[in-house]
Amino acid sequence: MQSELQQLNNAHHLQPFSDNKALAKSGPRIIERAQGVYFYDSNGNKFLDGMAGLWCVNLGYGRKELADVAHQQMNQLPYYNLFFQTTTTPTTKLASKIAELAPAHMNRVFFTGSGSEANDTNFRMVRRYWDLKGQPNKKTFISRANAYHGSTVAGASLGGMDYMHKQGDLPIPGIVHVDQPYWFGEGQDMSEDDFGIKAAQSLEQKILEIGEENVAAFIAEPFQGAGGVIIPPKTYWTEIKRILAKYDILFILDEVIAGFGRTGEWFACQYFDLKPDLITIAKGMSSGYQPIGGVIVSDKVADVLIEEGGDFNHGFTYSGHPVAAAVALKNIEILEQERIVERVKNEISPYLQKRWQELADHPLVGEARGLGMVAAIELVKDKSTNERLEADCKGGGICRDFAVANGLVMRPCGDTMIISPPLVITKDEIDELISKAKKTLDDTA
């Protein structure tokens, strides 16, 4: 028997990324409250949140300072925007703080309400840049198969998810995709290093095929998140850097998941030693306490836009929203004061990754991998052949259900199980996560 709220939900709420008919049958789980790395549903079940919500609650739940600053800002000034010609104190301070943390060649921020809007902003800003540079033919964006860059029309088109492209006739024109560096899934007929180079070279082949004079930008996540925590072989980024240095195209690094400490650096471009022209940010910027995203813009791009561009006819009602900005600013202040990024690098991610590797011994696990505060396991039926757990790659869904029954949130991506816990998770909580993950694998076997 479903509760009154569940019935109301079935009648009126169309849920994102859901089969709403199937969901109505089972009744959606109602989440009531959360504290630290745990959340609780309306039936009193407690879960260890191995995904930090949707890769975003980096400070964990229940940070009163963030609620207080939102309350204070709402009382003082909940919203203002005089046709985009004004700013507010938290908005400007946030832009300045992000510029201080970003690589030295990036000093400006364009704010949006989400990561998807930020990638739409990239799409328009990059094309505008090339128009202003007198090269209007440079319009094509090169992305990668199985990338995730959002759910708006441009975001989903930039993304490389076939199941998203199938709905809505995507990608839109001017967006093409090259190989992903997914060695476990696609490259085991060669060494990991060779595969990294091969995957990277698919970018160069595409540039040559389209013509450098027609290519606007290459967009990539530093490690693919929603694609299954796909961590490129060591050779991959080195080869991509060689290619980017050779051709006159812009480089957009989508750090919506990676930014603000998840790799143990403030930004993953510092972790991988990359020099992007634009960085997409969202999620960890406010630890998910307020919806906010943005693009960090290099001087190279910003100078052209500002000096030669006149009006940039792009923006959102909630660009630089003062409450979201105040919360993001406080979130960054806490990350700094509590030295959370350093703690991730030196203490907690080495511990998480060491313990995560124990899962590699399980008969169901073909590979355990991770970096910083993300990790994945590949579910297999047979370790000697790495045959997938289920022919239709639905093994992850089965494993996810056992995890939920064990009070642990792990996310399935096909036959890959992934985690991305809050950055503040303690060693004891990691121990609990690992023992729940082991029990889940035993139950799945």
Interaction between residue 225 and ligand PLP (CB under 6 A)? yes
Distance in Å, CB of 207 to ligand PLP, minimum: 23
Options 233, 261, 276, 293; binder of ligand PLP; rule CB under 6 A: 293
Number of residues located near ligand PLP, criterion CB under 6 A: 16
Which CB, 268 or 425, lies closer to ligand PLP? 268
CB of 54: closest distance to ligand PLP in angstroms? 6
Determine, following the binding rule CB under 6 A, whether residue 148 of this chain makes contact with ligand PLP: yes
User: In angstroms, what is the minimal distance from the CB of 257 to ligand PLP?
Assistant: 5
Query: CB of residue 282 vs ligand PLP: minimum separation in angstroms?
Result: 5
Q: Looking only at residues 97 through 126 of this chain, which bind ligand PLP when binding is defined by CB under 6 A?
A: 114-116, 119
Given the complex with ligand PLP, which of 279 and 379 has the nearer CB atom? 279
For 397-435, give the secondary structure using H, E and C: HHHHHHHHHCCEECEEECCEEEECCCCCCCHHHHHHHHH
282 lies in the binding site for ligand PLP (CB under 6 A): yes
How far is 93 from 328, CA to CA, in rounded Å? 10
Query: Among residues 47 and 223, whose Cβ is nearest to ligand PLP?
Result: 223
DSSP state of 230: B
Residue 351: φ, ψ to 5°: -70, -45
Is 268 one of the binding residues for ligand PLP (CB under 6 A)?
no
Concatenating the DSSP letter of every residue in 313-344 gives ----TTTT-HHHHHHHHHHHHHHHHTTHHHHI
Residue length of the chain? 445
Q: Peptide bond before 171: cis, by omega within 30 degrees of 0? A: yes
The answer to whether residue 323 forms part of the interface with ligand PLP (CB under 6 A) is no
**Residue 151 CB, nearest distance to ligand PLP (Å)?**
6
- State yes or no: residue 154 binds ligand PLP (CB under 6 A): no
Cβ atoms 397, 444 nearer than 8 A: no
Dist CA 406 CA 46 (whole Å) = 9
> How much is the CA Rg of the chain, to the nearest whole Å?
22
Under rule CB under 6 A, residue 372 binds ligand PLP: no
Match 């004004």 to its residue by tokens: 86
Query: Whole-angstrom Cα distance, residue 321 to residue 112?
Result: 9
| 50 binding ligand PLP? (CB under 6 A) | no
Query: Toward ligand PLP, which CB reaches closer, 257 or 399?
Result: 257
CA distance 244 to 250: 8
According to the binding rule CB under 6 A, does residue 256 interact with ligand PLP? yes
Q: Can you tell me whether residue 287 is helix, strand or coil?
A: coil
Query: Which of these ranges, 250-258, 260-268, 270-278, 373-381, lies near ligand PLP under the rule CB under 6 A?
Result: 250-258
Which residues would be at the binding site for ligand PLP (CB under 6 A)? Answer: 114-116, 119, 148-150, 221, 225-226, 254, 256-257, 280, 282, 293
